Structure 1
Amino acid sequence: MNDLEEVGAFRAQVPEPGRDRVAPGRERLVRAAARPRHRMPVWRVGLAVGTAAAGAAAVTAVVTGGGDPPPPVATRPVSATQVLERAATATGARPDHRPGSHQWVYTRTFQAGQPDAPSFVQHMESWVRFDGLKTARYDQTPGKKPRLVVTDVKPDGDSEERSPAQWYDYLRALPGAPSALLARMDRRADAYNAEQHHRLFSTADGRDQWVFGRLVDFLGQGPSAPPSGRATIFRALAEIPGVQVKEGTKDAMGRAGTAVSRTGPDGMREEFVLASGTYDYLGRRFVAVKAQALAKRPAVRGGPSPVIRAGTVADEQAVEVTTVVDRPGQRP
């Protein structure tokens, strides 16, 4: 394992591109493009919302300006520092219980909407053993009875992804001081941007947006994100310039919560929703604050528009449930 692992994230097992972040616009529109293209292990499940289906792999966005004004995140603005501190206090007080190596992380997610497939809706579920050596899913072949398929996973020494156990240990070992965590993330962002020939961002604002997205990825690890790590992440998010918090929002499934958001220099707003009262991570969405052009998507009569209008939700996903179970196929 090396420092590049910070850009790994677990997501629901759907066919989608690696998160290579080849351009700032694509970073905001297609969260699946937010990671370098390395060999990915089968146990990659993830909870970091903002994924996209395979068809979105070729989508690239550039700002064109104009369009209708974007909708507000919510109706009641509140202090980001106050809300995120409350979230840190609430989550940090929970007991730190590391799951057993042979227990399983169960995840069911809901995903809706994409720039070139606005009616897209999908429910996904998966099981991954905590040590990352087995994964399971139901074979839903039409006309046949659903069958649980358990797959052995061979460790990949070249992989820069993490198993649930490795994520847990990594996030538990994050620096306790928010400033120290942000300093580490800034260094990683600058190094990775250099590796990508400075195509990810060109300003400090762009770097802040990159760091915001990485920290949200960390929050999205579900049972693999220990309480202490979550608390530090919440406090670090509060120190990033431009972060806003608004209450009275809903996630992709209509559940009430508080939205934490930041708009990048490319005109794409990234936000995640925390459950009211518990501050549990509910989901993530991307909203075009400025009109966005879908590169390589010429206008086709009867087909999707080559332009995403301002205010359009480009992609959103909700974590329906994620928990630890004792065997594959078990549901809470």
Structure 2
Amino acid sequence: MNDLDLMEKFRTDVPPPTAAVLADARARMFRAEPRKARKRWVWSLIPATAVGVVTAAVAFTVVGVNPEQPEQREQQPSTEAAQVLRLAAAEARREPVQPARPDQFVYVESLVAWGGAEASANGDLKDGKYIPPVEKNRRIWLSADGTRDGLLRERATDPEDAADPTSLIHENVPLPVQGTPIPAYLRDLPTEAKGMREWLYAGAESGKEGGNPPDVTAFIKVGDTLREQYVPPASVAAMFEAAATIPGTTVVKQVDLAGRRGVAVSKVHHATRHDLIFDAASYRFLGEREVAQKDAAPFPAGAVIGWTAQLKVAVVDRAGQLP
């Protein structure tokens, strides 16, 4: 079965979800399970850009992770993962649209945690020193049409970390427009699953976007798009419906992110698991997480490589204004 056949099957075999269907699906998905012993996570995320450069959005980049065996491409998405994404799509369609004028700004508040590694004397990150992450509250204002300068404020959430002079604290960092304007309010994305799937995979086959396999690139693009931009509800729903057709996804239940109980739809590539996390009750998008699946220096198996927890997305009149 090819991707288009899979898309057609996905669109025609599943009836529009009613309130009763959504409630029944939630009950099946989150049936009580025994809790496992809580692990002490190590957080780290390595920005794709050079150290010290402030960017409007942080792209997840895995460093020093190599596969032992070639990855097997699965032919179908997990039924359970597809169900979570369809429920998320149904809920997204219920959200009202936040209108925005071209001269306004998209405001995003989130919690973020990332670290990295200091290269060894020979420049090898695998032999380098692990740099622990610092959890921060991040507030960013980005131009709706991309033509106006933005603003970033970022501060450690722990008072001890905030007082540490080595912590990267951004009080009022201007984000000037450089080159081609990049709108933060995405008005023109597809609003149906087939067109959105084509958009997610655009450039993936050629390896232009990140150099990962197409399915991995498309999956990661979902989080990259939602992280610090405003996407209208119809396009968010189409994105989740399209993601439900990406092969090789699974579900991780009982995820805690910024104190919120969630469920993750995940895709593993090499030694890293990429998570898109949704609220366990409402299926609203909460954020992202990356987890090391085995020892891959400098990250030990089970370490959370990095995470973001989206708290609020709004439209405001000027950079620095709170909604």
Q: TM-score range by the shorter chain?
A: 0.5 to 0.7
Select which of 116, 122, 139 maps to 1:125: 139
Q: Distance in 1 between matches of 2:171 and 2:252?
A: 41
Contact 1:275 1:281 in 2 (8 A): yes
The equivalent residue for 2:151 is 136
Identity across matched positions, percent: 26
Task: Give the secondary structure class of the aligned counterpart of 1:318.
Answer: strand
Aligned pairs for 1:138-217 within 5 A: 153-154=176-177, 156-157=179-180, 162-165=182-185, 168-171=186-189, 174=190, 176=192, 178-191=193-206, 193=207, 200-201=211-212, 206-217=213-224
- Opposite residue 170 of structure 1, the aligned amino acid is D
Encode CA deviations 1:53-99: one digit per residue, 9 max, x unaligned: xxx9xx4333469xxxxxxxxxxx98122221111111113233431
Q: Distance in 2 between matches of 1:147 and 1:257?
A: 29
Change (3 A) 1:154 1:87: closer
Measure, in 2, the Cα distance between the counterparts of 1:289 and 1:190: 25
Q: Does 2:302 match 1:314?
A: no
Cα distance in 2 between the residues matched to 1:239 and 1:139: 36
Over 3 Å counting, the alpha-carbon distance change for 1:200 and 1:151 in structure 2 is: closer
Rounded to whole Å, the distance in 2 between the matches of 1:321 and 1:276 is 18
CA distance in 2, matches of 1:190, 1:273: 26
Q: Secondary structure at the match of 1:233?
A: helix
What's the counterpart of residue 261 of structure 2?
Answer: 256
Structure 2 counterpart of 1:324, one-letter code: V
Q: How does 1:292-331 map to 2 (within 5 A)?
A: 292-293=296-297, 306=298, 308-331=299-322
Q: 2:120 maps to what in 1? A: none
Aligned residues: 245
2:221 counterpart SS class: helix
Residue 184 (structure 1) shift: 4.4
- What secondary structure sits across from 1:328 in the alignment? coil
CA distance in 2 between partners of 1:226 and 1:85 (Å):
17
Report deviation, 1:129.
3.1
User: TM-score under structure 2 normalisation?
Assistant: 0.63
* Secondary structure, counterpart of 1:111 in structure 2: strand
Separation in structure 2 between the aligned mates of residue 123 and residue 151 of structure 1, nearest angstrom: 17
Distance in 1 between residues matched to 2:140 and 2:308, nearest whole Å: 15
Could you say if the C-alpha distance between residues 317 and 88 of structure 1 is closer, same or farther in structure 2, counting changes exceeding 3 Å? same
Distance 2:139 2:115 in 1: 20
Residues 219 and 125 of structure 1: is their aligned pair in 2 closer, same or farther, counting only changes over 3 Å? closer
Q: What secondary structure is seen at the aligned counterpart in 1 of 2:283?
A: coil
Query: Is the 8 Å Cα contact of residues 283 and 319 (structure 1) preserved in structure 2?
Result: yes
CA distance in 1, matches of 2:266, 2:170: 40
Q: Residue 148 of structure 1: CA displacement?
A: 7.9
Is this contact kept in 1: 2:197–2:239, CA < 8 A?
no
Distance 1:270 1:150, change over 3 A: closer
In the alignment, the residues of structure 1 paired with residue 279 and residue 318 of structure 2 have an alpha-carbon distance, to the nearest angstrom, of 27
Structure number with greater CO (CA < 8 Å, separation at least 6) is 1
Give yes or no for contact 2:86–2:240 (8 Å, CA) kept in 1. Answer: yes
Partner of 1:70: none
Structure 2 vs 1, CA of residues 175 and 268 (structure 1 numbering), >3 Å: closer, same or farther? Answer: same
Corresponding residue SS for 1:279: coil
Using structure 1 for the length normalisation, give the TM-score. 0.62
- 8 Å Cα contact 1:107/1:127 also seen in 2: yes
**What is the identity, as a one-letter code, of the residue corresponding to 2:243?**
L
Deviation of 1:151 (Å):
5.0
Indicate which of 267, 272, 275 corresponds to 2:271: 267
Contact 1:63 / 1:290 at 8 angstroms: preserved in 2? no
State the partner residue of 1:111. 112
> Any unmatched runs of 5+ in structure 2?
1-43, 70-77, 117-129, 156-161, 164-168
State the Cα distance separating 1:124 from its structure 2 match: 2.2
CA spacing shift, 1:114–1:100, aligned 2, 3 Å = same
Answer yes or no: is the 8 Å Cα contact 1:63–1:291 preserved in 2: no
- Amino acid in structure 2 at the alignment position of 1:45: A
